[in-house]
A and B are shown apart, each in its own frame.
Chain A
Amino acid sequence: MSFTSIWFPFFCALSIAAYFLVPVRYQWKTLLIISLVFYSLANPVYLPFLLISIITTHYFMLKGTGKGLAATLIINLGLLVYFRYNLIPGFNSLIVPLGISFYTFMTLGYALDVYNGVIKPERNIFKYALFISYFPQITQGPIGTWEAMGRQLIEPHYFDAERLKRGGYRILIGYFKKLVIAGRLMFYVDTVFSSPGSYGALTLCTAVFFYAIELYADFSGYMDIAAGLSEILGIRLSENFLRPYFSRTIPEYWRRWHITLNEWFRDHLFVPLMATEFNRSFSDGLKKVLPKAKTAALRTMLPLFVVWLTTGIWHGAAWTYLGWGLYYAVIMMASTGSAGIMKRVRKKLKWNAKNRFIIIFQTLRTFFIVCLGYIFFRAESIQDAALIFKRIFTGASLSPGAVKQSLIPFGNGHQAIASALILTALILGLFIYELLEERQDDRLSRHRLFLAAAMIAATGLLGIFGQSNFLYQAF
């Protein structure tokens, strides 16, 4: 069942009622049953694969041995690669178990943490099963850790009206972002990206910008619904977004966008790779070529490259994702490699990091770099991505013809102008809301009732219902 399904609110209401009405010692068991029912409602065929992963991982990691870890990695990565990547010709899977990229990463994180002695293995398989299958997070994350989630899920929780209000408000924000903002932007973005060759630079730029907002509204909207629902139950999900488009640098952006995935890669790939003997020799080799470079910066080069390539491939087996991963590998390596020099330059220039213009410049620059990355991420082929880059950088024009063309994907005549105006107002509204949040302005909490009413009205009037799944559900 999707969060956008018409049945979802009823499912939630029933689940919340059941969770708080059963005696507390049955609470987490009830939650496990609800979660497995939720997962089966998407397609009962998916369930056996989830159960195979849960049962084998729990069994093999009971002792936390290297052999157990190897078995866990082979089974889980094997299933993930089989279902998501179609590597063996003639053995293409027709189905992809819902949320497999997300729950596999949670599983691997658990196994690696047990093996490394960071956590103790859970002896009760049903408690472990709840950790993996917990329904607000199974389809699209956040990729929770056992440390953050394990105990919370088992603890008793009592109904709290304040939490219901807070959680309910967050769910509203989530639906507003998903159904109104992402839902409305999707038409424009899909139209342009399905045949980029038919459009000029201005239209392509608009589509890329809209996609940046659509993806954020869609993915963080999902996260708001999941976290709000979870909050009502008394369980805190790990945050996945911290207003990422206000970041001043790309490394900062990656600490504020899809946080749990990036932390996973940091803890389970970046740090282990960084400490390998191979990486030490590799960075020693680099040091001979670049004697002035900092040892620490050189030590990050290979791990950064591998991590970003893997992050790209995690999103799918396509050249576009590989291109996107490489794009960030190069940027992160350049950013890390030049951090020392930039620090000295800024000192010499007496650069005031708190200057408002510098902050605005850095934020816009970072957003621009992120948008360019989205060309790879969203384009339907690497050829399309190349074409969009070429058009944007060679054919920029603000002529009346170009402006008129950029309105075409909105629809016909007056409808196009109305659509453009509504979307501009919505994006501006979201921007102001997040800017106030970023500044921790207390007007947001004082006018919460008004904002809730406005979001309900906007969702009712402008929401696009029954159209689509969430974008990250495809990963």
Chain B
Amino acid sequence: MSRDEVRERLEKVFREVFDDETIVITDDTSAEDIDAWDSLTHVELIVAVEEEFEMKLSAREIVRLKNVGEFINLIHEKAGA
């Protein structure tokens, strides 16, 4: 799976979780850019990513994420491994 593909699928996940079809994610997108991004939607996002990409994310992996770019990298690495 290419990095672009990951980004596209992740964008779909974002749109579903935040119930907003207009969301466009970039590498720099972070919790500050999306109003509805709180603890619950954060968990929803993690669960949705785990389901979409069929992987388990550990606490250490999650807390390191600072923006969407790092999220894409993480998924990309884990999916490739």
Task: List chain A positions with a Cβ less than 8 A from chain B.
Answer: 116-118, 251, 255, 266-267, 270-276, 280, 294-297, 299-300, 336, 339, 343
Contact = CB atoms under 8 A, between A and B. Distances in A.
Given A251-B38, A255-B38, A296-B48, A274 B64 contact: no
A294 B39 contact: no
Interface string B15-38: 000010000000000000000001
Mostly helix, strand, loop or mixed at chain A's interface?
helix
Contacts of A276: 59
Contacts of A300: 39-40, 43
B64 A116 contact: yes
Given A118-B64, A272-B59, A336 B40 contact: yes
Interface residues of B, number: 19
Give the residue among B58, B60, B63 with the most A Cβ atoms within 10 A. B63
Given A116-B64, A117-B64, A275 B57 contact: yes
Given A275-B57, A299-B47, A251 B64 contact: no
B62 interface: yes
Contacts of B40: 251, 296-297, 300, 336, 339
21 contacts: A116-B60, A117-B60, A117-B64, A251-B40, A255-B38, A271-B42, A271-B59, A271-B62, A272-B59, A274-B43, A274-B46, A274-B59, A275-B57, A276-B59, A294-B44, A296-B43, A296-B44, A296-B48, A300-B40, A336-B40, A339-B40
A251 B44 contact: no
A295 B38 contact: no
B15 to A, nearest CB: 16
Contacts of A297: 40
A275 B43 CA distance: 9
Contacts of B19: 343
Given A255-B38, A296-B40, A296-B43, A275 B64 contact: no
A281 to B, nearest CB: 12
The 9 A-B pairs at the shortest CB distance, nearest first, are namely A272-B59, A296-B44, A275-B59, A296-B47, A296-B43, A116-B63, A295-B47, A116-B60, A300-B43
B64 A270 contact: no
A267 B39 contact: no
